[in-house]
Structure 1
Amino acid sequence: MNVKLTQEQKIQVLNSQDLYAIMQKVLLRENKIRRNQEHFWVIGLDTNNKILFIELISLGAVNRVQVNAPEVFRMAIYKTAVKIILVHNHPSGDTIPSQPDLDMTNLMLKAGEIIQIKIVDHLIITEETYISFEDLGYMQQLRNNDTYRIVGEHEAELKAMMVEIEKLKVKHEMAKVLLKEGDSIEKIMRVTGLTKEEIERLLKKK
């Protein structure tokens, strides 16, 4: 589920505090019952760390939420994000990462290496505070940890997604050439198969 953002919220992320200021508001939009469930969001960033999207990937129970790698990276591919940030809430108010939190982050880092989309941070948030894995040094520790490997169906699905990324890159390069030549968005949509939204994002990057 895509989280609607105002233009003011589509900021360049400079630090974890900037991000928490937005995610706290996103969490507080939920009613009290939903705030007592764990949510898992993915935030997509462009090359300048500007927010492209915030996507609610999964809604869980009071003390757990389940996600898998293809779910986490699918929107990043569609929106052509080059980096992502993971965010989930702890309804208990305790921001200390559990071992499953660390294990899941480690697994996603390994998936990101396969699909070549960097995970720059993971925030655990509550209604009043947060912690950043990057700020506390967890991200570097996990990047150096070789405990987990993506295997089986998820590995195959991620590799298939890599093929889609390469196809998308070719379409983007073609669209850039056509834009430079002054072709209309409608023509570029027909030639490349890209959506109007994707082409308009390319225009903004010119």
Structure 2
Amino acid sequence: MSVKKSKRNKQPLVDAYDVFGVMSALLEQPDKPDLNTENLWVIALDKGESILNLELCGMGSYRTVVKEPADILSIPLQKKAFGIVLIHNCPTGDLTPSEEDIDITDRLHQAAAIVGIKLLDHLIITEGSFYDFKNNGLMDQIYKSGKYLPSHEMEQRLKKEISDMTKKMTSVEQSGKNIGKIEGKLEIAEAMLKDGYDLEKVASITGLSLSQVKKLV
């Protein structure tokens, strides 16, 4: 799915609680992904940290998806994103990040940095709670890490892969296959309103106009 920011209301996702609020609303939809398996979402943000796009990147095992950074970064690049937030669910309910979680986040951070995108946070979620890397000091640790600093050859290869992927995505959108659908935005808005979000916040996050949101009340 794709969620665009509102031109009228550009309230940012201030912190991990806002991100979790968006995800909670998303997971209340009837067609939500199977939470008994791992899923990976990526939120692309502008410089004001308002949502440009929210994408389900993979189902079954988010680790498999993250091993291909070009697949994750192509849409944020196409949207000219300033930063991204990773979110994956934990079927076991254990929110403690594993060494593999940290390692994968480090790798994607370095890949994103090459193309000028900042990895802002990584949330591990269940339906009722979450753990975020930023507020627990893990993002600072990752920013200081040099483990995955790429060689010049790897850097050029990654840039080419992402460029090719972005061109393909642009072609798909121009063919009328844009993944963002108004029905999905309305479902998210309805769920957020039920959770007590105010009208302007819902409009800002979903990209719907304020008048569209008011009709849902």
State whether residues 95 and 124 of structure 1, in contact with CA within 8 Å, keep that contact through their aligned partners in structure 2.
yes
CA separation of 1:53 and 1:154: change in aligned 2, threshold 3 A: farther
User: Equivalent residue for 2:65?
Assistant: 66
For structure 1, the residue ranges without an aligned partner over 5 or more in a row are: 165-192, 198-206
User: Equivalent residue for 2:129?
Assistant: 129
Task: Give the CA RMSD over aligned residues.
Answer: 3.3
Task: Read off the aligned partner of 1:85 and give its amino acid letter.
Answer: V
Measured in 1, the distance between the counterparts of 2:46 and 2:160 equals: 22
CA separation of 1:55 and 1:10: change in aligned 2, threshold 3 A: farther
User: Equivalent residue for 1:114?
Assistant: 114
CA separation of 1:66 and 1:161: change in aligned 2, threshold 3 A: closer
Compute the TM-score of the two structures, normalised by the length of structure 1.
0.69
State whether residues 40 and 59 of structure 1, in contact with CA within 8 Å, keep that contact through their aligned partners in structure 2.
yes
Task: Read off the aligned partner of 1:100 and give its amino acid letter.
Answer: E
Q: Comparing both chains, which one has the higher relative contact order based on Cα–Cα distances under 8 Å and sequence gaps of 6 or more?
A: 2
User: Equivalent residue for 2:99?
Assistant: 99
Instruction: Give per-residue Cα distances to partners, 1:54-78, cap 9 Å, x unaligned.
Output: 00111114x9553221011100011
Measured in 1, the distance between the counterparts of 2:163 and 2:30 equals: 37
Q: CA deviation at 1:32?
A: 8.0
User: Equivalent residue for 2:201?
Assistant: none
Q: CA deviation at 1:149?
A: 3.5
Q: CA deviation at 1:163?
A: 6.6
For structure 2, the residue ranges without an aligned partner over 5 or more in a row are: 165-173, 179-217
Compute the TM-score of the two structures, normalised by the length of structure 2.
0.65
Question: How many equivalent residue pairs?
Answer: 165
Q: Give identity over the alignment, percent.
A: 32
User: Equivalent residue for 1:186?
Assistant: none
Task: Read off the aligned partner of 1:60 and give its amino acid letter.
Answer: G
Measured in 1, the distance between the counterparts of 2:154 and 2:72 equals: 12
Q: CA deviation at 1:79?
A: 1.1
Q: Which has the larger radius of gyration?
A: 1
User: Equivalent residue for 1:55?
Assistant: 55
